[in-house]
Chain A
Amino acid sequence: MIRTGGALPLGMRPRRRPSIAIPLSRQGVRPYISAMTKTPRSHIRNFSIVAHIDHGKSTLADRLIQMTGSLEEREMKDQVLDAMDIERERGITIKANTVRLEYDAADGEHYVLNLIDTPGHVDFAYEVSRSLAACEGSLLVVDASQGVEAQTLANVYQAIDNDHEIVTVLNKVDLPAADIDRVKAQVEEVIGLDASDAVEISAKTGQGIDQVLEAIVTRLPAPPEGEGAEPLKALLVDSWYDAYLGVVVLVRIIDGRMKRGQTIRMIGTDARYQVDRVGVLTPKLVTVPELGPGEIGVFTASIKEVADTRVGDTITEDKRPTAVALPGFKPAQPVVFCGLFPVDAADFEDLRAAIGKLRLNDASFSYEMETSAALGFGFRCGFLGLLHLEIIQERLAREFDLDLIATAPSVVYRMTLTDGTVTELHNPADMPDVVKIATIEEPWIKATIMTPDDYLGAILQLCQERRGIQTDLAYVGSRAMVTYELPLNEVVFDFYDRLKSISKGYASFDYQIDGYREGDLVRMSILVNEEPVDALSMLVHRSAAEKRGRVMCEKLKDLIPRHMFKIPIQAAIGGKVIARETISAMRKDVTAKCYGGDVTRKRKLLEKQKEGKKKMRQFGRVEIPQEAFIQVLKVDG
């Protein structure tokens, strides 16, 4: 098991019981329903559900699925679309999910509604942006007891940028703490949306869901008329690997039709495939004869790997290509890197296979081989954020039963060397000799924090300590919204945890990458028993080095068990020691009475001790527990 230790990022506490679920879309292919694709554009509505984390998007999706009868009662469960184990355990959505609903509206007409439930957590903002590109409208869900939070803003602005019509839905009105008037005022003041026609619902009790369905039909637009019926032009929204079907591709048809047997071309990758199957997700995959303009559906085409598909690509007919490709979107960029090493060096090949498999279904993380003097062979992996990192580690540990050591997360630095070359540094251990470096730049972010004003003082102080530059501060009632520019490297370690504890969980946080800036960064090494532990070295701002070094040494002193000899722990920059601690030698460790039957018990203790030692890594004569590598970075204060 990987121990990432400590608290999870904001709002990430597990709250659901684990369960093993096969995604519904993967429970085999259903027979074909012919009437399904004859829907005229005017009777199609495509929309995303967006919100701050935990405001109830997936629960609303449950109710919409239920009320339209897409799943039978016995197939329903809470957040039915969150099918991955890790989603169910943590009670969060990680992957966006699409469902096609059939709805008989009050006007007597039959509509097809394509719903995309999106994740709320900032690490998966990329899922939101591609979902939005496939739709014309959004349901903006706001928790009526919490109000507008940082990701509410980030997501609704993205929807507005995509020219979406927006229906505001105030959820959780069943809660005693719901304050509808206050939250409506917030929506108007902070976001600038008219909240007078917000739909008031409880996704839990089902109250108001009928009005949501009507609002979708009456207030959201139908897909626009394209240039005409031909040729095929479709947006590649997402793709995933299915054990039975191979690579499944989610598309939004802009123009033309997609059908079985058609030879298609992906413009970006310039690859040709023959479509073997076209379908829709109800959320089960149901085969249909074809997909028409305005529709969202899936196809398979004997594509080998998810990596062969580029999200945002334009799909067209090979013989009659479309004249104009879609703009596409920027690929998701990993922003946080860390090394993953097997505890037992013999597991390296297993780790390679496991990472390869995971990557099949998650193109957003990257990996390359890495060698560490202390940890042997492993991989340097890039992630969308810390939660993403934590999730991948956990999946590797659990789904592949691997014991791993994760090294300090690091951001990507950009170095200009004295000879003028510019390189990216993913790993502090690879930092060239300081004399060869002209400048080092680090990534900065623009952070938005929303908080009850009681905690504002402490939060401002935290941001200042992290070298933040305040750019804005506004109040909405007693809630403050503050924006800061911050170096990403000050945020990757424990910023979420700190923010959460300072604000007792009430503050919310969102960020965007905001370019590179030069910084006075130095490499700090940690020496245990006089030997540098490369996996613990890091780049820090010179002004923060001494404090960080001191805290690291103090933490390691607590994390490394006593040995039979005393162990000095030092933090150093170049050859200069900036902090030191000593772990004193163990005084006494011997069983006083041991004879006769005690042997079995003692041997079991010994075996447990040996098991425990396997969870340690040997550095010279010192054994360091795995969790120390992550725990040591959780700096308080």
Chain B
Amino acid sequence: MTVWASPDQTAPAPLNGDDGSPGFGVYLHWPFCAAKCPYCDFNSHVRHAPVDQTAFAEAFLREMAHVRDLTGPREVTSIFIGGGTPSLMTPETVGTLLNAVAAHWRVPANIEVTMEANPQSADANRFAGYRTAGVNRLSLGVQALNDADLTFLGRLHDADEARAAIELARRTFPRLSFDLIYARPGQTLENWASELREAISLAADHLSLYQLTIEDGTPFKALHAAGRIAIPDGELASNLYAMTQDITSDHGLPAYEISNHAVPGAQSRHNLTYWRYGDYAGIGPGAHGRFAVGEAVEKHVTITERHPETWLERVRRHGHGIAETETLDRMAQADEMLMMGLRLTEGVDLARHEALGGRTIDGQALQAMIDLGMVERVGNARIRATARGRIVLDSVIAELAQ
């Protein structure tokens, strides 16, 4: 039995960080998908023979024990099962993984436990099982609400299946988010506006709205390079973004991060940990972890082997699949904190940035960004990107990083 089986729990836990600590999240990566989407560069693999979930679950458990030795005892503030397509796991496998987390770290009863899921009906049939296993928040990969675009995106579901999955998820889980990809080839302001309005009408308390990115090494990259697909140019992309901000905030789902929107209070605790530059353990093929040990100023990075079977083999041999580690000095951490934190509407706490980096932010660069209207101060304590700054945020960060 799991420790958090309380189906009627709907009140979200306090936002980690509100008490000054950005939290400690546990991330589990399930690296398999039923088919590879042509735009996707996540660590996801298609297997034509059934995946031996028991063997993988065992390996997750062994690696978790190893990572627990590295992090030491901690209190977990959120758990996230991502992918790939975690909804290919049986509820039993999910239950095993969640129980193991609780066996290794202290896990309070009401924390956020998110799982990514795809909307195919086969996956949806397992929703109830996931809920029972302890998942209290679902993140559905809807991507589009019309069949033509879903086909273009190489998705295995159609729009009706997506609507049905949303419906079912809303009934099953206390919290629900879903993802859409926009700024697709040929998309106009008008048709995105109406699709977005429909999405808002279906949404619970959270939406992730990503502009389509052409990632290296994907089939879309090759098509794009060959001139066979064209995505909206800078002008249109920027207008689509601005419109998205307007429509979502008009409907009570303002952006709290570049691409994430929530009813205030319903933000993803787990992702906030990343953006507020908290600690997290990463378990499973291709997962990343970042955590401080004890009072040390350095942060440890763990990166596990990406290829699932190779990872499995490594865990069998060495008790873990960590292929790369890195130690982040104060300056690297300060840069990362800025890089992540400026994505948030709430911005970055300067005192914390300074404490982390051991020096103040480049005042001249900051003033230049403020003068250009890219960054603004929030009282004396914080800075944040303005609406204009957010659309060119990568350049703004490059100016401010040391």
Contacts and interface: CB of A to CB of B under 8 A. Distances in A.
A344 to B, nearest CB: 15
B237 A594 contact: no
B143 to A, nearest CB: 12
B234 interface: yes
Contacts of A609: 394, 398
B335 A599 contact: no
Contacts of B82: 596
A595 interface: yes
Given A597-B282, A597-B288, A587 B234 contact: yes
Q: How large is the interface on A (under 10, 10 to 19, 20 to 34, 35 or more residues)?
A: 20 to 34
A588 interface: yes
Contacts of B401: 606, 610
- Interface SS of chain B: helix, strand, loop or mixed? mixed
A613 B391 CA distance: 20
B137 interface: no
B234 A606 contact: no
A564 B335 contact: no
Contact of B339 (A586, A588, A592, A599): A599
A593 interface: yes
A592 B210 contact: yes
A600 interface: yes
Nearest to B82: A596
Contacts of A599: 274, 288, 290, 336, 339-340
Contact of B397 (A586, A595, A600, A606): A606
Contacts, number: 92
A13 interface: no
Nearest to A612: B398
Interface residues of B, number: 47
Contacts of B394: 589-591, 609
B90 interface: no
A602 interface: yes
A600 B326 CA distance: 10
Nearest to B385: A590
Contacts of A613: 398
Given A595-B274, A600-B288, A603-B336, A587 B238 contact: yes
Nearest to B287: A597
B235 A587 contact: yes
Interface in B279-304: 280, 282, 286-288, 290, 301, 303
B398 A590 contact: no
Contacts of B213: 591-593
Q: Which of A565, A606, A613 has the most CB of B within 10 A?
A: A606
A517 interface: no
Nearest to B338: A606
A17 B233 CA distance: 43
Interface in B323-377: 326, 332, 335-336, 339-340, 343, 368, 372, 374
B332 A603 contact: yes
B392 A564 contact: yes
A612 to B, nearest CB: 9
B258 A603 contact: no
Contacts of A593: 208, 210, 213, 259
A594 B259 CA distance: 9
Nearest to A603: B336
B22 to A, nearest CB: 14
A354 to B, nearest CB: 29
Contacts of A587: 233-235, 237-238, 391-392
A587 B271 CA distance: 27
B4 interface: no
Contacts of A398: none
Contact of B27 (A564, A596, A600, A606): A596
Nearest to B286: A597
Given A587-B238, A600-B326, A564 B339 contact: no
Contacts of A586: 234, 392, 395
A613 B398 CA distance: 9
Contact of B303 (A590, A592, A597): A597
Given A588-B238, A599-B288, A610-B401, A594 B258 contact: yes
Interface in A267-326: none
Given A565-B372, A602-B339, A588 B398 contact: no
A621 interface: yes
A586 B374 CA distance: 12
A78 B96 CA distance: 70
Contacts of A565: 372
Contact of A594 (B27, B238, B343, B390): B343
A600 B303 contact: yes
Contacts of B326: 600
A606 B210 contact: no
B335 A603 contact: yes
Contacts of A600: 288, 301, 303, 326
A229 B41 CA distance: 85
B275 interface: yes
Contact of B211 (A592, A595, A596, A621): A592
B288 A564 contact: no
B392 A588 contact: yes
B394 to A, nearest CB: 5
B234 A588 contact: yes
B393 interface: yes
Contacts of B335: 603, 606
Contacts of B288: 596-597, 599-600
Contacts of A603: 332, 335-336, 339
B311 interface: no
Nearest to B324: A600
Contacts of B280: 596
Contacts of B392: 564, 586-590
Contacts of A606: 335, 339, 397-398, 401
Nearest to B396: A564
Interface string A597-630: 1011011001001100100000001000000000
A610 B398 contact: yes
A609 B368 CA distance: 18
Interface in B156-181: none
A595 B393 CA distance: 15
Given A564-B374, A602-B339, A606-B335, A592 B259 contact: yes
Interface string A570-597: 0000000000000000111111111111
B32 interface: no
Contacts of A592: 210-213, 258-259
Nearest to A597: B288
A602 B339 CA distance: 8
Given A587-B392, A592-B213, 20 more contacts: A564-B392, A564-B396, A587-B235, A587-B237, A587-B391, A588-B238, A588-B391, A590-B393, A590-B394, A591-B258, A592-B210, A592-B258, A593-B210, A593-B213, A593-B259, A595-B274, A596-B280, A600-B288, A600-B326, A606-B335
10 contacts: A588-B237, A588-B391, A591-B394, A593-B210, A594-B340, A596-B80, A597-B288, A599-B336, A606-B339, A609-B398
7 cross-chain pairs, A with B, having the tightest CB-CB distances, nearest first: A597-B288, A587-B234, A590-B393, A592-B210, A589-B392, A588-B238, A592-B211
Interface of B: 27, 80, 82, 208, 210-213, 233-235, 237-238, 241, 258-259, 271, 274-275, 280, 282, 286-288, 290, 301, 303, 326, 332, 335-336, 339-340, 343, 368, 372, 374, 390-398, 401
